[in-house]
Amino acid sequence: MKRYSILLAILLGITLLSGCFSPSSQSEIKDKINPVTMIRYSSSDPTPVKYDNVPHNMTRVLVRIDHTYRGHLDAYLTKTGSYVLKEWSEIGWFMVQVPANETALSYIAKLRKVTGVSWAEPEMEYEIPEPIKNSDLYLTDKSKQSYVSAVPGVDLYDQQWGHQNINSEAAWDITTGSPNVIVAVIDTGVDKTHQEFVGKTFIGDYNAVDFGTDVSDALSGHGTHVAGIAADDGRTGLIAGVAWDCPIMPIKVMNASGSIYTSYLIEAMLYLADYADANPGVRIVANMSIGGRGYSYAFKDAIDTAAEAGVLLVTSAGNDYKRIIGYPSCYNGVVDVAASTPYNQKADFSTIGPWTSLAAPGDTILSTVSTLVPGNLVYESWNGTSMASPFACGVAALVLSEYPTLTALQLKNQLEQTAQGAPSFNEELGYGVIDAAAAVGQLEPMIYGSLDVTTNIISTPDTGWLGVGVISIYDGNGLLAGFGTTGAGAAANYLFHALKPGTYRVQVVYYDAFEGEYEIQSKNATITREATTVADFQFGIPTSVVATLEQHYDIDQTAEVEGEQYYYEVDFEVTVEGAYDFVTSSSGTALDTAITLYDAVGNELAYNDDHEGGHNFSRILMKLPVGTYTVYVENWDPKKQPILICNLDIHSFAVTY
Active site amino acids: 187, 222, 386
Rounded distance between C-alpha atoms, residue 198 and residue 332, angstroms: 38
Do 586 and 617 contact (CB within 8 A), yes or no? yes
DSSP notation for 536-594: EE-----SEEEEEEEEEEEEE-TT-SSS---EEEEEEEE-S-EEEEEEEE-SSS---EE
Closest of 521, 362, 369, 366 to residue 455, by C-alpha: 521
Buried b (16+ CB within 10 A) or exposed e, 307-331: bbbbbbbbbbbbbbeeebbbbbbbb
Residue 109, number of CB atoms within 10 A of its CB: 12
Do 389 and 285 contact (CB within 8 A), yes or no? no
Strands 567-574 and 604-608: unpaired
Continuous segment of H or E residues that includes residue 533: strand 531-537
CA distances (Å), 198 to each of 144, 192, 202, 233, 235, in order? 9, 8, 11, 9, 11
| Cα 612 to the center of its chain, rounded Å | 28
Cβ neighbours of residue 149 closer than 8 Å, sequence gap 6 or more: none
Strands 260-261 and 117-126: antiparallel
Helices (H) and strands (E) in the chain, counts: 11, 32
Cβ neighbours of residue 37 closer than 8 Å, sequence gap 6 or more: 521, 522, 523
Instruction: Tell me the longest C-alpha to C-alpha distance in the chain.
Output: 97
**Residue 181 burial (10 A CB sphere; 0-12, 13-18, 19+):** buried
Please name the residue ranges forming H helices in 325-456.
385-402, 408-417, 436-439
Q: In what order do the strands lie in the sheet with 578-585?
A: 544-556, 645-656, 578-585, 619-624
Cβ neighbours of residue 206 closer than 8 Å, sequence gap 6 or more: 213, 215, 249, 250, 251, 252, 268, 271
Closest of 503, 508, 501, 498 to residue 453, by C-alpha: 508
Continuous segment of H or E residues that includes residue 273: helix 262-278
Instruction: Calculate the CA dihedral of residues 608, 610, 612, 615 and round it to 10 degrees.
Output: 130
Rounded distance between C-alpha atoms, residue 633 and residue 638, angstroms: 12
